[in-house]
Amino acid sequence: MNTKQQNKLAMYLVVKGVLDANNSVWQPLQAFADGYTDFTSHVTQIQTLELTQVTDSTGIAQDKKASKAAMATAAQQISAAVHAYAVKNKNNTLANETAFTVSDLTGDRDADAIKDSQNVHDLANTNIASLANYGITAAKLTALQANIDGYKAIVTKPRDNIVAGRTVTVGLSDEFDAADETLSEILDGLVLQFQATNAKFVSDYNNARTIVDTSASHASPTPPTPPTPPVTAPKP
């Protein structure tokens, strides 16, 4: 939510406060009551969207880092065993394809880390009949695949958050437009119906409709310019 929207929401809440305090005044006028219901529903939706918009993504980043480390550790353990098997059997191609360290995988870009880890899994699975003496089991390969799939799922979350954030931004704009329309086109006009019977309510409502720039209120005041001292003519 930008500063302009924050200022406008603050105005909405002041207006709502005035309306709530004078419920008995306007409630008998059905059109005004309907406008109030419509207006407050938009305000509630704006507040809900605001909470969604400011959701902290730090947790997702931490989960992503931990998931990548778990995948890299599992892949490297299997890779080391396959590498040892390949060297023992003088399979240079397989040895080169499994020469990974944990830092190689955690330092890779997401797509490369996933590709290399999957390759380790697939090479081990192809040679699993010969790897029992090297500590490689079907259960370990299943666990590595689960780590790979888990990391694949989590790397898309930041992108999903961006898409969701854009959706929330559009939704906020629509809700502000709808709230503005209800105020300016319905409630601002109907409030005049109470001028004769409750002028104070009308005055309070109109005053509440003023938008205050809260960012400007925190600015340091400009100090007054000191007066110029008068020029005294020299004595003869």
> DSSP code of 221?
P
Query: Which tokens is 65 given?
Result: 């880092």
Q: What are the CA-CA distances from residue 194 to residues 23, 81, 107, 203 (Å)?
A: 12, 85, 69, 10
- At 216-228, the pLDDT tens digits run 544 444 444 444 4
Q: Which of 165-174, 182-191, 225-234 has the lowest mean pLDDT?
A: 225-234
Specify the pLDDT at position 226: 46
User: Between vectors from CA 214 to CA 17 and to CA 208, what angle results, nearest 5°?
Assistant: 30
Residue of 58 and 65 predicted with greater confidence: 65
Summary mean pLDDT of the chain: 85
pLDDT band, very low/low/confident/very high, at 58 (cuts 50, 70, 90): low
Phi, psi dihedral angles at 135 (to 5 degrees): 85, 10
CB distance 71 to 105 below 8 Å: yes
Query: Does residue 64 carry a pLDDT above 90?
Result: no
17: its two tokens = 């406060």
Q: What is the pLDDT of residue 100?
A: 84
The mean per-residue pLDDT over the stretch 2-16 comes to 91
The rounded radius of gyration (Å) of the Cα atoms in the chain is 34
The tens digit of pLDDT for each residue in 94-145 reads 999 998 888 988 888 999 999 999 999 999 999 999 999 999 999 999 999 9
Q: By CB neighbour count within 10 A (0-12 exposed, 13-18 middle, 19+ buried), where does 187 fall?
A: buried
pLDDT in tens, 74-87: 999 999 999 999 99
Residue type, 170: V
**Local confidence band at 205 (pLDDT 50, 70, 90 cut-offs):** very high
- Is residue 82 within 8 A of residue 94, CB to CB? The reply is yes
Measured distance CA(61)–CA(165) in Å, rounded: 16
Q: Which two tokens stand for residue 178?
A: 């709808």
Task: Check: CB of residue 151 under 8 Å from CB of residue 68.
Answer: yes
pLDDT at 233 over 60: no
Structure tokens at 48: 């809900």
Residue count of the chain: 236
In this predicted structure, the answer to whether residue 28 has a pLDDT above a threshold of 50 is yes
Segment 165-188 shows an average pLDDT of 86
Token pair 């870009």: residue: 109
Mean pLDDT of 2-27: 93
pLDDT band at residue 159 under the 50/70/90 scheme: low
Which of 120, 106, 119 has the alpha carbon at shortest distance from 72?
Answer: 106
Q: What pLDDT is attached to residue 162? A: 52
For residues 60 and 203, the model is more confident at 203
Write the CA distances from 23 to 59, 96, 97, integer angstroms: 44, 78, 75
32-41's contacts with Cβ under 8 Å and 24+ in sequence apart are 32/186, 32/187, 32/190, 32/191, 32/193, 35/182, 35/186, 35/187, 35/190, 36/187, 38/178, 38/182, 38/186, 39/12, 39/15, 39/179, 39/182, 39/183, 39/187, 40/16
